[in-house]
Structure 1
Amino acid sequence: MQKDIPNIEFNAKKPNNSGIDILTIESLAARKDLVKDHHPEKAHQVAFNMIVYYTEGESQQLVDFVWYPIKKNTIIHISKGQINAFQFTKGLKGYILLFTDSYLQKQINALPKNEIIRLFNAHLFSPIIQVPKDSNVLSYFNLFYEEYTNSKEDYNQENTYKSLHSIIFSKLERLKQYQTFHLKRTDKLEMFLQFKSLLETHYKSSRNADFYADKLNITYKHLNTICKSTVGVTAKQFIDQFLVLEAKRLLVNSDIKSTELAYNLGFEEPTNFVKYFKKHTGFTPNSFKKEYI
C-alpha cells in the first residue's frame, strides 16, 4: 500500500507552456490505468488550480475530503493544495482546465478587483457551480480547447489563451455571485481576509482567537462579528476548521507521524492533538489516514 497521497505537479505537454493546459475528462478517464504512480480516482493533492466542467453524465468528485454530486453542466473549481479525486462513470464528459498559481496571479491583474473572491477561496465558498442551460460558458471552453489542441500557429497564442481564460473566469465569477450569498468588498470582508492571512502564517503557534484579534488591533468580540457575518461561524470555529483541514492534508500527504504532526501544529502533548482531531472528525489521526489512502 502506498504511504501517502501523491502531490500532482503541473505538467502540460504543449511546448513552451506558460502555465495553462486543457484536456477532456474522457481522455483522463481513458488513461487512468496507464499512469504509473497516480490513479485519478484515488485521493491526490494538486499543485495547481483546476476548473472541471462536466458537460454530460452524473457522478461525484472529492474536494478536501467531501464528495460533491455531479450532473450535466456542473463545474467544480479547485485551488492549489486541495485534495481531489474523480469518479469516472459511464458517459461522463467534459473539460479540465488547469493553470498554475503564477499564471493565475498574472491574470488577476487583468480582472476586476473582486473577481477572485468567490472562485478559489475554499474557506468562503463551496467549490461547485451549476451552469444554467441558457449560459454560453460552454462555448468558450469549446473554443479554448479547439485553440489549444488544434492550432498550429504559435504567434500570439498566449494572448488568445489569456483572453479566453479571463472570459471564462469572469463568467464563472458572475454565475457564482448568483449561487452564493451576496458578498461585497466591505471593511468586514477586508478584515476577515487579513485574519485568514494571519492564520495561514501563525496557525502553528496559536489557536487562540484573542491572539489574532490583537494582531488586527480589534477586540475578540469584533473579530467574532466579522467571522459570523462573513462565513457564518465564530473566529474559534473558523480556526478549528482551518487547523483540522491542514492536519488532514498533512496526514494523508506525508509520512509524518501523528506525534510529530501534533508538535508541528503547536500541541504540547500528542494526546491532546489526538483528542482534538477526534472531536472534530470522529477519527483518530491514524484511522483517518488509513481511511483515505
Structure 2
Amino acid sequence: MNRNMQNEIPNIVFNSQKANNSGIEIITIESLYERKSNVGHNSEKAHQVAFNMIVFYTAGVSRHLVDFVWHDVKKNTIVHISKEQIHAFQFNDGLKGFILLFTDDYLKKQINALPKNEIIRLFNAHLFSPIIQVPPDSNVEHYFRLFYDEYSNIKEDYNQENTYGALHSIIFSKLERLKQYQTVHLKRTDKLNTFLNFKSLLEGNYTKSRNADFYAQSLNITYKHLNTICKNIVNTTAKEFIDAFIVLEAKRLLINSEIKSTELAYTLGFEEPTNFVKYFKKHTGLTPNAFKKDYK
C-alpha cells in the first residue's frame, strides 16, 4: 500500500511489498496496526482506496468505517470495500484478522472464473451492505489462513499465481453463498440488468444530469418503468438513487481533496455554487464546508 501525497485525505494505491506481484496481497490486521506509523498514513483516519479489499475479523470487537457509516465488527465479521470507497479501521486491544487486497485488473482477470452474480453481490455498494457475518461453523477462516500461509511462503514461488487465483475464487464463492442467505437473492433478470445499465449511465453522466427522465430516455424506457425497477431492486425511486449517488460523490471529494465547495459545485454539474450548497444541505443537514469541518 502507498499514499498519493496530493490529497489531504490519503488516497491509498496498491503497492505490494512482494516482487513480481500480479495485483493481490494479504496481510494481517495486527501487522497493519504495528506499522501504521510507517506506511505514510494513519489507517484509523478516513482514507480512500484505489483497490478492492476484503477484511476478515477473527478476534476482538470494534467498528469499521465504510463511506461515512460506522459498522460494528467482531469475530467472524467480514467487511468488503470497493475501489474508491472511503474507509477507516478502529484498532482495539485483541483485534485480529486478515486483509485481502486486490486491484481491479486482478479482479477482471478473475471474472471468467466467477459467476457474475458474485461480483454484483460482493462489490456493489449501492445494492448491498458491506458487512457479512460468517457463521461459527463456516470454514472461511481456513481459506484465509491458507492464502496467508501460501503468500507468506518465500521459499516456494513455483505456480503461486495459479494458487492465489484458485484460493481467491474459493473465498469469493464462499462469501457470495453466505451473502445470498443474508440478503435478498438477486437473480440475473431483465430488471436487474436494466438497473445496472442505469447505474452505469449515472456513473458516466451524473455531472451532466440529475434528472431521472434523462436516464429513462437514455435507456429507452419510461420514467415510471425506471422508478418501478429502482423500487424493486434498491427500494428507492430513481431520483432518490440519483441524489444519494451524487451526495456520496460530493462527500468523497470534499474530504479527499483541497477542493473548495464552489469549485466542487461546477465539477458536479451545478450551474451555481449556491444551488449545490442548498442541494447538499437538503440531503445531509449540513453545508459542504460544515460537513468537511465536522467530519475531520
Q: Give the TM-score normalised by the residue count of structure 1.
A: 0.97
Do 1:33 and 1:39's aligned partners in 2 also have CA atoms closer than 8 Å? yes
Displaced runs of 4 or more, over 4 A: none
Distance 1:107 1:143 in 2: 19
| SS, match of residue 119 in structure 2 | coil
Corresponding position of 2:114: 111
1:162-211 deviation line (CA, Å, top 9, x unaligned): 00000001100110010011211110000000000000000000000000
What secondary structure is seen at the aligned counterpart in 2 of 1:114? helix
2:242 to 232, 239, 242: 239
Instruction: Provide the residue aligned with 2:103 in structure 1.
Output: 100
Residue number in structure 2 paired with 1:17: 21
Q: Does the 8 A contact of 1:43 with 1:292 survive in 2? A: no
Superposition deviation, residue 151 in structure 1: 4.3
Offset from partner CA, 1:119-153 (integer Å, 9 cap, x none): 01000000000000111100000100000002412
Conserved 8 A contact 1:32-1:39: yes
Structure 2 unaligned blocks of 5 or more = 1-5
* Partner of residue 7, structure 1: 11
2:81 pairs with 1:88: no
Could you say which residue in structure 2 is the equivalent of 1:254?
Answer: 257
Separation of aligned partners in 1, 2:205 and 2:116: 26
Deviation of 1:158 (Å): 0.3
1:181 aligns to 2:180 (yes or no): no
Contact 1:53–1:94, Cα closer than 8 Å, also in 2: yes
Q: Does 1:164 align with 2:148?
A: no
C-alpha distance in structure 1 between counterparts of 2:149 and 2:19, whole Å? 17
Residue equivalent to 1:60: 63
- Tell me the distance in 2 between the aligned counterparts of 1:158 and 1:3: 33
Give me the CA root mean square deviation: 1.1
Does the 8 A contact of 1:21 with 1:99 survive in 2? yes
Note the 1:133-282 alignment, pairs <5 A.
Answer: 133-282=136-285
Cα distance in 1, alignment partners of residues 115 and 194 from structure 2: 20
Residue aligned with 1:54, SS: strand
2:125 aligned residue: 122
8 Å CA contact 1:58–1:72 kept in 2: the answer is yes
CA distance, structure 2, for counterparts of residue 274 and residue 3 of structure 1: 22
> Partner letter of residue 80 of structure 2?
H
Query: What amino acid does structure 1 have at the position aligned with 2:268?
Result: L
Which letter maps to 1:167?
I
Q: How far has the Cα of 1:292 moved from its partner? A: 2.6
CA distance in 2, matches of 1:4, 1:24: 26
Q: Write the distance in 2 (CA, Å) between the matches of 1:157 and 1:292.
A: 42
2:75 corresponds to: 72
Maintained 8 Å contact 1:52/1:95: yes
What is the SS of the residue equivalent to 1:118?
helix
Q: Secondary structure at the match of 1:117?
A: helix
CA contact (8 A) 1:62 1:68 kept: yes
**Secondary structure of the residue that 1:13 maps to in structure 2?**
coil
Q: TM-score normalized by structure 2?
A: 0.96
Inter-partner Cα distance in structure 2 for 1:154 and 1:219 = 55
Q: Deviations over 1:213-262 (max 9, x none)?
A: 00000000000000000000000000000000000111111111101111
Distance in structure 2 (CA, Å) of the matches to 1:248 and 1:194: 24
